[in-house]
Every structure is written in structure tokens, then in C-alpha cells.
A and B are shown apart, each in its own frame.
Chain A
Amino acid sequence: MTFRELVERHRIVISAGSGGVGKTTVAASVALWGASVGRRAVVITIDPARRLATSLGLETLGSEPREIPAAGIGPLRGRLSAMMLDQKGAWDALVERHAPPEARARILANPFYQHLSQAFAGSQEYMAIEQLCVLVDSDAYDLIVVDTPPTRHALDFLEAPRRIGDFLDRRIVKWFVRPYFSAGWSALLAMNRTAGFLLRRLEQATGISALAEISDFFTSMSGLFENFQPRVERAYKVLRGAETAFVLVTGPEEQVLGDAEYLSSKMAELHMPLKGVVLNRVHREYRPPGRGTRLGELGPEDVEEVAHAVARALGGGGREARELAANFVDYQALARGESLRLEMFRAGLPRGVPVVQIPNFARDVHDLASLAAMHAHLFGAKAAA
């Protein structure tokens, strides 16, 4: 299967990888391509740096998908929409939907709620998946591309539903909702001397009355969390479904490839198999054609030889020729290291996973035209290998 076929055959494409590898631009480029071949495409980003907004030349993105006019790249046969997940807004909306009106203000001001909605590891990712499920159900899109946060957090992305699910586990929640809990430690003390003692000690030591806040929060929100487990299961069903393709985006640097390998093994563990790989910002190694060159390689030691060849072609220009040659061998060293590492990386990938390679464009990719320029490498003739 080619990468093109992969995207053609899946409705959901999730772009994963570590920070700074170009996940967001790959996600946006895939969605743009889908739109250009007639699909109703949407790209969701959850990156707080609002990179996609910049990538798409948009100043702001809302928490609802917004259609993007395809200015400057010719007409699209389909449609392209984008949305930036507003994490806090999504949680607040959940509260609006499920909490009794009189409790809303109290919940929104509850420090535990604020923590859960803004800083709890996996909370943002979980909301992205919720949003993904909403779009999947809506039938408004037939290609949904999801951008994810950096590696350590990308793991959060994979594990977010479970983590949130554990956290909001019904049995535990019930326990917190028991009325005597909010009545204070003395009530708890009566129930369980040891636990009460420990908690009081903790509270004294830290000055945090988090447990009372948790209790208050769950008491107000109990309706919502009763139904949380099915939502988590639904999320995993979508992530593991046959319609979904996880695409790993990576650069050729050693540390980045290490992260990519880790992420790919973690995906397998969680039964979210990797279906495609994009090697981004790669330098092509120059291999001299034919025989007569030492070992078929050209390295820093050949700088004079290259300078001569350039000078010969130009009929002079010694200084410029040397500078060009020095630059050439610098990039050659870079390219050779990259090609060795990528070869090893590819050998470790599951068989049959399509791999495409995008060269290192010497420009910031931040508009539709430059996103479209990636298509030849992702989907075109250049992606055949």
C-alpha cells in the first residue's frame, strides 16, 4: 500500500510524533490534499502554541470547525475546514450540558475542576478525542485529520481516555460523593480512624483542602461521571477502529528517531497500530553515479575534488567554487548521517507500513501554497517509493 492509498482508505488520520518535527504541517497538508481530491476534510489541532493557525495563515481558530477559503492554490474539489481545540471551553461546555444550573458557577470556580480542565495530564488530549468522536458522529466530514501534542504528551494522547476514565472511576466517584465526606474529616474519622488520621496529617502538612473540593465537585457533577466509562470505551473504539490510521511523523535526527521508535512500540502495545510513516525534513545523500569513485561515496575529504569540478564548469572562480564545495560536503555529512539512521529506523518498522520522505524545504511552511508543495512528496510520483 502507498501512503496515498492509506489516506484514501481511512476516514480518520492521526498525526503523532515529537515536538518540532512538523506534525502540524503534515496534518494540515494531508487535510488539504483530501479537500483537493474532493473530500470533505477537517483538521483538528490541540497544540496550545496555535501553530496550525499560523500554518493555515489564520489569525484565530474557534472551537467549531471553520471552513478555509482556498486562496492562492486554485479551486478545491472538496472542502477544507480547520479547528483549534479550546480545551477549557470544551470542559466548560460539558459542565453546561450536564451540571444542574444552580451548581454551574460553583463548579467552574472549583479549584479542582480548574485543575482537571486545564492541567491534568491527558485532559486536553481527552477533550480532543471527545471532539474527534463528535466529528465522527456528525457525518459532516469524510476525512478527519488530528494533530497531537509532542511525544511525551502524545503518549498521553493514547492513554488519555483510560487515565481520565480511571480518574473519574464510578466507584471512586461514588465514594467521594457520599455526603459525610464534605462534612469534614471528623465524619471520615468516624468511618476509618487510620485514613482520617493520615488525611488530616496531609492536610495540615500542606495546607491544601483538595479533598473537600474534589468531593464538592463530584457531588455537583455526579450525573456526568456516572456515564463516563462508556464514553471512554467509545473513544478507544474510535482510536482502534478500522477507519483510523495513526501516522508517525519524524525527523532524521538521532534523538527524534529514538522518540519515534518509542512511540511506535507504545502504539503497538496499546493496539493502535501504526499505519504510515512520514520522514520529514530529510537531506538527500548524493551518490556518485557509475564506477571510478571511491566506494561510491563522497565525503568531506573530497572537498578539493568537488571544488575543482565546480571551477572547471564555471571556467574559473576559485574562491566561490571552494565555498560551494565546502557547503556541499557539509550537507553531505549531514545527509549521510541521516540516511544511515533512517535505514536502521526503517528496518525496525512493522512490515508493509508505507513510508514517505519529505525533503528539508528551505522555508517556513506557513501558508496553503507551501502545504500544497508537500503533496508531491506525500502523494505524488515522488512518493512511489
Chain B
Amino acid sequence: MPASVVERRLHFVVGKGGVGKTTVAAALALALARRGRRTLAVEMDVAGRLPAVLGGAPPPDLSVISVDGRAALEEYLGLIIPVKRLLASIFSSRIYQYFVAAAPGLKELMTVGKIWYEATREERGRPAWDAIVVDAPATGHSLQYLRMPQAARETFGVGLVQREATKITELLRDGRTTAVHLVTLAEEMPVAETLESRDQLRSLGLPLGHVIVNRLHRRHFDAAFLERLRTAASTVPAAERALLACVRERAVEESGWSEINATYIARLRGELGDAPTIELPFLFVEEFGRTEVEQLSRLVEAGLAGRAEAGPRRRSRST
């Protein structure tokens, strides 16, 4: 029986572009850190938005790093080739540049390898981190990363890399340590892609964590009632008429999104079976900032603990 998701050490947050993956990864990292777990938030590739989303000053139990395949490879080679001058001449040679660019999946493997290293590293006889949250690149790409260690085992000759790849694969597949969370919106294309990713995870033997449905609209306005408002609006003075038209327009929009969301969340649930989901509301704010990430992290925390999420929020700025 896999350990409860919140107990696991390695969390990958995966989703297609534009679904709020980085925000959700930040919220998850905050939620874990708040429970007193020493948490490492990892962004893949350089110059991501994770530090900005975490608001510049993460809480004491939360650290943020960037992992880049090429740097990880150099660090790794530094471990096996300790002579600094030798290393420097390797890194500056054109052949090495080729080697890195051309070796199939080497960069991806090294990225995941670095994460693995952090996940298994110990300090003073205990794991250096209780939890690692990885903000993975957009869907197709991140599965490419997670697939890499397995692919590497098959394609690379016998050597250090293959041994490393085997260890990494075992860790990634271990449902006691690892969870891959899928972030989505309750709309047609993101849901389709999420279900595809779920199938791919299954065929790769990687443990699915939570499916996190972001930006849900939940207010329905009765169509007949809105029609009545339209009729009524035509009888009031012009100044108010424009206001009422806008009130109605926005009610129609909200109802429209709520309906789309309801349809696709039903489809998602139907297809997912018993995979746990966490639902996050759309937040109506002028500027999405640290306060909102905090707010979402509370909901993620509740969702991880299996508690029903608080009902639809009216506004995040209630005062």
C-alpha cells in the first residue's frame, strides 16, 4: 500500500502550459513547509518563475533551487573526475559541447539525477529534505524527463550512467516516495491532456498523486432570471442601464464558465476513477500575489489531508 501522498518525499507537479502549474507547485511547497517539513522547491530549466511566485522570502522550512541539465552534468562529472584542470579543459572543448547536445537524453537524465541526489542526500544521519516539490516543464516535456531514466537504462551501455539510471528509476516508481501530480483546468483540452498524461504515467509505472483542478468557477445564475434582468434594465435611466447590462454580461460569463467547468470536472472524475482530486477556485483579484498563493496553499493542504475543501470563495479581499 503506497504511503499517503503527503508523507512522500518527491513531488512532481506536471501540467500543460497556462494551467497555473507554477502557482500550484508553490502552493504545494508552502503547504508542506507549513506542516513543518523541510521542503525544497525545484524549478527545472533556468530562470523560472517559482522564486517570484513564492514572493522573494520563502518561510524558513522552504528553500528554492533551479536545476539545469548541463550544470548538473558538470557537477556530476566533477564527482567522478576530481582533477579540476582536467575538468575545465573538458568543459571548454568543442567535442564536449557536442557530447552534451547530442547524447540522447543525457541532459534530461542529469536533471532528474540531480533531483534524485537531493531526494536521497543525508545530513547528520537523516534525509536532507522531508519533501521536494518539482515544478516540471509543460506536460509533453516533463514526461520526457520522467521517462529518461528508464530510456537510459535501455539505451546506454554498461557504465556509471546506467547504474545511476537504474537507481533513479526505482525511486521514481516507488509509490512510497514519489507522487506525480497533474494540474489541469476543467476545460476540454486540458482535461484531454491530463487523461493522456495519466495513461502515460501508468504505462511508465510512475505513481499518480493528486489531480489538481485549478481556477474553478462555481456560480450559476438562472437563465430566466437573467432574462428578467435584461427586460427590467431597458426601463431604467440610461446611466443605470449600462451598469445593469454589464452586471448581466458578467453573470452570463460566470454561468458559462461554471457550466463548462462542471461538465469537464464530471468527465474528469468519471475517467479518473478513485484518483484523488483537489479543486481550487478561480480567484478574482486585481493582482495575483503572495496572499493568493497562501490562500491556495491552505486549500491544497486541506485537499492533501483528504478534507473537503471550503466552499466557493466569494472574494479573496473580503475587507
Taking a contact as CB atoms closer than 8 A, the residue among A19, A194, A337, A360 that contacts B17 in the complex is A19
B228 contacts across to A, CB distance below 8 A: 314
Q: With an 8 A cutoff between CB atoms, is B269 at the interface?
A: no
Interface string of A284-299 (1 = CB under 8 A from B): 1010111000000010
Q: With an 8 A cutoff between CB atoms, is B202 at the interface?
A: no
Main secondary structure of the interface of B (DSSP, over half): helix
Cα separation A343 to B99 with both chains bound (whole Å): 47
| CB atoms of B250 and A331 under 8 A apart | yes
Q: Known: A205-B81, A324-B221. Contact between A211 and B95, CB under 8 A? A: yes
Q: With an 8 A cutoff between CB atoms, is B3 at the interface?
A: no
- Nearest-Cβ distance from residue A20 to partner chain B, whole angstroms: 1
| CB atoms of B101 and A167 under 8 A apart | yes
Q: Known: A255-B49, A327-B250. Contact between A309 and B244, CB under 8 A? A: yes
| CB atoms of B285 and A333 under 8 A apart | yes
| CB atoms of B159 and A20 under 8 A apart | no
Which residues of A, 81-130, contact B by the 8 Å Cβ criterion?
111-112, 114-116, 119-120
| CB atoms of B105 and A119 under 8 A apart | yes
Chain B minimum-CB-distance residue to A176: B98
Cα separation A330 to B285 with both chains bound (whole Å): 7
Chain A minimum-CB-distance residue to B187: A364
| CB atoms of B156 and A206 under 8 A apart | yes
Q: With an 8 A cutoff between CB atoms, is A199 at the interface?
A: yes
Cα separation A385 to B179 with both chains bound (whole Å): 49
Which residues of A, 329-373, contact B by the 8 Å Cβ criterion?
329-331, 333-334, 336-337, 340, 360-364, 366
| CB atoms of A315 and B187 under 8 A apart | no
Taking a contact as CB atoms closer than 8 A, the residue among A19, A213, A330 that contacts B284 in the complex is A330
- Nearest-Cβ distance from residue A364 to partner chain B, whole angstroms: 5
A329 contacts across to B, CB distance below 8 A: 315
| CB atoms of B93 and A198 under 8 A apart | yes
Among listed B29-37, B57-65, B230-238, interface-contacting one? B230-238
Q: Known: A20-B16, A333-B286, A362-B252. Contact between A327 and B219, CB under 8 A? A: yes
Among listed A48-56, A134-142, A224-232, interface-contacting one? A48-56
Cα separation A360 to B252 with both chains bound (whole Å): 12
Chain B minimum-CB-distance residue to A258: B49
Q: Known: A300-B315, A337-B285. Contact between A210 and B99, CB under 8 A? A: yes
Cα separation A255 to B52 with both chains bound (whole Å): 10
Residues of A whose CB lies within 8 Å of any CB of B are 18-21, 48-49, 51, 54, 111-112, 114-116, 119-120, 150, 152, 167, 172, 194-195, 198-199, 201-211, 213-214, 251, 253-256, 284, 286, 288-290, 298, 300, 306, 309-310, 312-315, 320, 323-331, 333-334, 336-337, 340, 360-364, 366
Given contacts A207-B157, A320-B225, A362-B254, could you give 11 more A-B pairs where the C-beta distance is less than 8 Å? A195-B93, A195-B95, A206-B103, A206-B156, A207-B161, A210-B106, A314-B228, A314-B232, A324-B229, A328-B247, A331-B253
Lowest 9 CB-CB distances: which A-B pairs, in order? A20-B18, A19-B17, A207-B159, A362-B256, A337-B286, A330-B284, A115-B104, A210-B103, A313-B232
